[in-house]
Chain A
């Protein structure tokens, strides 16, 4: 997969994985209180090879291998943040984050409120999410919507190499806990990045492809499938606008609503299961805010209601794919 960002002068081709690594390296160089902690982030190089080489560069204090103790080390990240550090905690995948959901929800997200504003938890948690590598059910789920449900957290989903490079620094400057979801299918994706690439803002959704006829709203790994669907739709004479949410909490309603008010139609593409999905939330907001602009019901393309199966054809069938996105968009447009 190759990103279609226009190559300017001084740009270098890089992978999403290298972009995340560059972001971590940059953060550790600039911020003495920052350190990376998680299972196999050091000697092994990270289970998705994101932190490869960083141990040699920064040493075991700052690239800290942890035992298999998700609740223990995520909780330790919270304590370290309270103690003035800027921990970047890596949880291998969102699937395993359920073992530390207690710490994320009951402590990281709530301490500021419970303490009447006395203590903030400036913690960044990165985790991999998503399916597509035939890793079967316990390694393939997309549960970021569960975290987007929680007040007190910020939830980010970088879909491009620029965002993979830039969101971490902005997240580290946040006084509150930020979760960054990296879709596993994006790590090998290449894109071009200016040599001086750095922080990006994390408040706004981005229009990744302007269009007139329908708004396709998506995020993370589904962005590229949605852009490919938009190209197919263009061949059918349907000009789709593609919005990348980028931030799942808080949601940037303004960008979505402005687009839907122009196009009058929307389909949301989300790798979460349909029931209780983020797509459901976005659809509800469109209904609340744009009902009188709509020319068709808001459509959703989500993952089928099944634990992600191991066989390739079934995994593909479970996930949102360009053909399903095209079909949903055509249904909305009536062509």
Chain B
């Protein structure tokens, strides 16, 4: 039940974002996570509050599943001062100290070394935390991926690398970007525990995450999870999706992680159709409230333009 709801929160939030984008309430780049919700929710179910997260520009799902409130997240999408990054980051740079959410990085591969460092700090402080790093399969081609895998394994750091393999980096299919398309095998070459999991199955993701975290918390060094998934929508709001067949998209939509779980729960008699309807209504209300919160938010005065570049008191 809670898994369904968590996934639905992400789905409905983003559907609303797409709508708000066409109304020009949300601007800039907007990368939707729709179709991939099982990964964010599955992974986050297994995390402790003290664990850290490093994410990408496609991070709304990670942020919501981590517990960042929908109102401040929506206000951030608007660029309002009440946003979780004070409106300075927007859709691609969600940060939240309270939940140890370290962005929101729009440089493909850029977050991996930072995750390594957060884990290094934990290890040096003898803290039992794990840093989870989300990234797409496109990042695997970057040098920073390999540098980070090597460092994390070499220093046996508590990092969980979660590759969301949705088969496309913008319009570039996995097969034309990687010599080895079994991504988890690359991690194995760094002597890192590594598995592939069905990224459309939230239960499978959660249990694989728990397994990986157990290895990590026992001091076994980093672990790698390749989650096989698909984004149902375009890469961003500017993408006409000329690079993939409609039939392929439709086939993957049949594997929708939310419907799949709902169907299973109803068939198993755990949930009734009426329960689903009430969850739907609850989520719709939450989204509505988030929009109202964002709408009611304020624009930071231009006089504050130079704040948060450096610690106050320093003028360039």
Chain A interface residues (CB < 8 Å from chain B): 35, 61, 66-67, 69, 71-85, 87, 102-103, 106-107, 111-120, 151-152, 154, 174-176, 249-250
B117:A83 contact, CB within 8 angstroms: yes
A67 to B147: give the CA distance in the assembly, Å: 8
Closest 5 CB pairs of A and B: A79-B117, A75-B113, A83-B121, A116-B86, A72-B147
A103:B113 contact, CB within 8 angstroms: yes
**Residue B105 lies at the interface, judged by CB distance under 8 Å to chain A:** yes
Q: How far is the CB of B107 from chain A (nearest CB, A)?
A: 5
Extra 14 A-B pairs, beta carbons < 8 Å, given A78-B114, A83-B120: A73-B113, A74-B113, A75-B112, A76-B113, A81-B117, A82-B117, A83-B118, A85-B124, A115-B97, A116-B85, A117-B86, A117-B308, A152-B310, A175-B311
Across the two chains, which residue of chain B brings its CB closest to A120? B311
Q: How many A-B residue pairs have CB under 8 A?
A: 159
Asked, given contacts A73-B113, A79-B120, A85-B124, whether A67 binds B95 with beta carbons under 8 Å apart, the answer is no
Q: How far is the CB of A157 from chain B (nearest CB, A)?
A: 16
A82:B316 contact, CB within 8 angstroms: no
The contact of A151 among B104, B120, B316, by CB within 8 Å, is: B316
The contact of B116 among A75, A81, A106, A113, by CB within 8 Å, is: A75
B89:A114 contact, CB within 8 angstroms: yes
Q: How far is the CB of A129 from chain B (nearest CB, A)?
A: 21
A79 to B132: give the CA distance in the assembly, Å: 12
**Residue B122 lies at the interface, judged by CB distance under 8 Å to chain A:** yes
A76:B310 contact, CB within 8 angstroms: no
A84 to B122: give the CA distance in the assembly, Å: 9
**8 Å CB contacts to A: which residues of B262-316?**
307-311, 314-316
Across the two chains, which residue of chain A brings its CB closest to B154? A67
Across the two chains, which residue of chain B brings its CB closest to A89? B117
A82 to B143: give the CA distance in the assembly, Å: 22
16 contacts between A and B (CB under 8 A): A69-B150, A71-B147, A75-B112, A80-B117, A82-B118, A82-B121, A85-B121, A106-B110, A114-B93, A115-B86, A115-B95, A116-B85, A116-B89, A117-B86, A119-B97, A120-B311
Interface string of B22-53 (1 = CB under 8 A from A): 00000000000000000000000000000010
A80:B311 contact, CB within 8 angstroms: no
**Residues of A close to B115: CB separation below 8 A:** 79
A107 to B115: give the CA distance in the assembly, Å: 12
A67:B150 contact, CB within 8 angstroms: yes
B125:A71 contact, CB within 8 angstroms: no
A118 to B95: give the CA distance in the assembly, Å: 8
B309:A82 contact, CB within 8 angstroms: no
B118:A75 contact, CB within 8 angstroms: no
Asked, given contacts A72-B150, A85-B121, whether A116 binds B88 with beta carbons under 8 Å apart, the answer is yes
Interface of B is mostly: mixed
Asked, given contacts A76-B120, A82-B118, A151-B316, whether A114 binds B104 with beta carbons under 8 Å apart, the answer is yes
**Residues of A close to B83: CB separation below 8 A:** 116
Across the two chains, which residue of chain A brings its CB closest to B98? A118
**Residues of B close to A154: CB separation below 8 A:** 310, 314
**Residues of A close to B143: CB separation below 8 A:** 71
A73:B151 contact, CB within 8 angstroms: yes
A77 to B143: give the CA distance in the assembly, Å: 17
Q: How far is the CB of A244 from chain B (nearest CB, A)?
A: 20
**Residues of B close to A103: CB separation below 8 A:** 110, 113-114
Across the two chains, which residue of chain B brings its CB closest to A77? B117
Q: How far is the CB of B271 from chain A (nearest CB, A)?
A: 38
A115 to B131: give the CA distance in the assembly, Å: 18
Across the two chains, which residue of chain A brings its CB closest to B125? A84
Q: How far is the CB of A75 from chain B (nearest CB, A)?
A: 2
